[in-house]
A and B are shown apart, each in its own frame.
Chain A
């Protein structure tokens, strides 16, 4: 890997840290701990279920919001503020810039998830007083959440490479919502007829399948996760991210920076 990608990624990470994005973690941890105490008092026998569902959903939603919030400005903000001029006037290829930005944002989200996961496990320990073996499945759910972030990051970058931050946010969030119901969309495509079937099938396979990456409920119910599912989801997320990133690079390579 070109060292320039690592330098750009490190600077992107530093920007996120200095923009105090990661400070939301403290708020998240406090919020989750407070919610866990409250839930522990009102739910009987299902404390564990509620805390895992609540905690992991919050990790996912917080992360998606951060990924979209930062991702949509990664390229457009650099163009608008003209900070890109002094980067691209150096021996930096445009694709290196995009890939560096992607890794920087992905790194930010991984660190973000790590700290939020501490909050989830802390809340779980508070309500259950001890960890059990099935709690290890939470790590699988967190891994899938990180895969989800990779896809969101790449999509946000793709939109950011040609659109304004506001439109990019609308596009990325819409895709997240539609992608979260990808399984339902595929089910609908299976039932439809004629041209509707073709359109629905096309849309179902084009949008990112976030429902496959969401195993929060299954983990909360202690259902086992197959290694095949982990492999499939990993390959799917990496392939989808690579495609979206390639699209971002293709657009950005041709863009005039007025």
Chain B
């Protein structure tokens, strides 16, 4: 069963003083997220990621389209007991402590009283918020608030979790912990849908990604498929700082870093490159075909949509 089915959701805001000028925030979006996968929703700032998430949460009403979440109509409030949501740059009732906040959210999500206390301690431990008993949220740092936000999203043991920019405000260690947490959630059979513009996070975590730009879906698929394209080049890494002249003759672009050399050579020259290294008695460390990175794919999609938009504008002019 699909965890999320988005069927043509679109959003147009009316802007201007008289609210008569339409501004399309999201073109009709069709997207399916399968149960148990980590799905990355990628796009630059202002692409329409948050608008999509807000529509799925019922915070913003779509101009057209519909969606199904966990097999239910998305407008059914009861389905929300099975989903968790972390908004972008979350802000909570700052007069509460983290325990009180989670207790309140647990009540609203229908977590029974006897389980609530145990769940609160569990999730706080899980997101690394310890020794914060009695501390009001107004005294929390940005990173701590983000952790509290993640805790409230998973407090009621939801089947589906939406994270809007979950790594925002976290230090490298915190980001690593959140990545681990998301992988754990997947192992527990939960579906994770998260939006980000940090591509390394998406590449490391996601089973599938969708790329959205200027409110329009530009590409969707498994990360491995999107990055499978071989660029026709091979990367050779060897130990030492020596760059043989015959290697340069093969057309290699060499970079010395520390005590290793990284060279990129045209595909088909790898046998010759290995021969050179053998001849010079240099130790080979790695030989790998160069694949398109998610970042390269992302940039290509964005540039493509940018040039298409410019062409349309040019035709109109």
- B80 CB within 8 Å of chain A: yes
Contact B108 A4 (CB under 8 A): yes
Of A10-18, A122-130, A149-157, the segment with at least 4 beta carbons within 8 Å of chain B is A10-18
* Complex contact B95–A90 (CB within 8 A): no
Once A7-B104, A91-B108 are accepted as A-B contacts, the answer to whether A86 and B90 lie under 8 Å apart by CB is yes
**A92, closest chain B residue (CB):** B108
Q: Please, which residue of chain B has its CB at the minimum distance from the CB of A257?
A: B59
Contact across chains for A85 and B87 when beta carbons are under 8 A apart: yes
With contacts A82-B90, A85-B87 taken as known, whether A18 is within 8 angstroms of B80 at the C-beta atoms is no
Which among A14, A90, A257, A258 has the greatest number of chain B C-beta atoms within 10 A? Answer: A90
> Cβ of B58 < 8 Å from any Cβ of A?
yes
- Contact A91–B61 (Cβ < 8 Å): no
Give chain B nearest CB distance to A251 CB in angstroms.
13
Tell whether, in the assembled complex, residue B91 and residue A82 are in contact, meaning their CB atoms are under 8 Å apart: yes
Q: Report Cα–Cα, A242/B172, bound state, in Å.
A: 52
Contact partners of A256 in chain B: CB under 8 A: 59-61
With A90-B81, A257-B60 as contacts: A15 and B95 at CB distance below 8 Å: yes
Q: Are the CB atoms of A7 and B87 closer together than 8 Å?
A: no
Q: Are A85 and B85 in contact (CB under 8 A)?
A: yes
Which of A8, A84, A89 makes the CB contact (< 8 A) with B80? A89
Shortest distance between the CB of B21 and any CB in chain A (Å): 16
Closest chain-A Cβ to B64's Cβ sits at a distance in Å of 14
Give the residues from 189 to 212 in chain B that come closer than 8 angstroms, CB to CB, to chain A: none
Residue of A4, A11, A89 contacting most chain B CB atoms (<10 Å): A89
Nearest CB on A from B312, distance (A): 27
> Is there contact, CB below 8 Å, between B110 and A91?
yes
Assess the B87–A14 pair: CB atoms within 8 A.
Answer: no
Q: How many Å from the CB of A134 to the closest CB on chain B?
A: 43
Asked if A86 meets B59 with Cβ closer than 8 Å, knowing A7-B107, A15-B95, the reply is no
**Count of A-B contacts with CB under 8 A?**
76
Tell me, in angstroms, the Cα distance from A8 to B60 when the chains sit together. Answer: 21
Distance of A256 Cα from B14 Cα, bound (Å) = 12
Q: Given A91-B77, A92-B77, does the pair A86, B95 have CB atoms closer than 8 Å?
A: no
Residues of chain A with a CB closer than 8 A to B93's CB: 11, 15, 83
A117 to B234, CA, bound (A): 85
A93 at the interface (CB under 8 A from B): yes
Contact residues of B between 69 and 115, Cβ < 8 Å to A? 77-81, 83, 85, 87, 89-93, 95-96, 104-105, 107-110
- How far is it, in angstroms, between the C-alpha of A251 and the C-alpha of B162 when the chains are bound? 27
- How many Å lie between the Cα of A86 and that of B156 in the bound state? 13
Q: A-facing mask of B103-147, CB < 8 A → 1, else 0? A: 011011110000000000000000000000000000000000000
Q: Which residues of A contact B83 (CB under 8 A)?
A: 89
Known A-B contacts A14-B95, A83-B91; the reply to A90 vs B105 at CB < 8 A is yes
**B61 to A3, Cβ gap below 8 A?**
no
Q: Which residue of chain A has the shortest Cβ distance to B85 in the bound complex?
A: A89
Is B57 an interface residue when CB atoms closer than 8 A count as contact?
Answer: yes
Structural contact, B59 and A90, CB atoms closer than 8 A: no
Q: Do A86 and B107 touch across chains, with their CB atoms under 8 A apart?
A: no
| Interchain CB contact (< 8 A) of B57 among A11, A83, A85, A258 | A85
> Is there a chain A Cβ closer than 8 Å to B175's Cβ?
no
Given contacts A81-B91, A93-B77, list 6 more A-B pairs with CB under 8 A.
A82-B89, A84-B59, A88-B59, A89-B57, A89-B83, A91-B78
Report A's interface with B, CB cutoff 8 A.
3-4, 7-8, 11, 14-15, 18-19, 81-93, 254, 256-258
Query: Top 7 nearest A-B pairs by Cβ distance?
Result: A89-B85, A18-B95, A257-B59, A7-B107, A85-B87, A89-B57, A90-B108
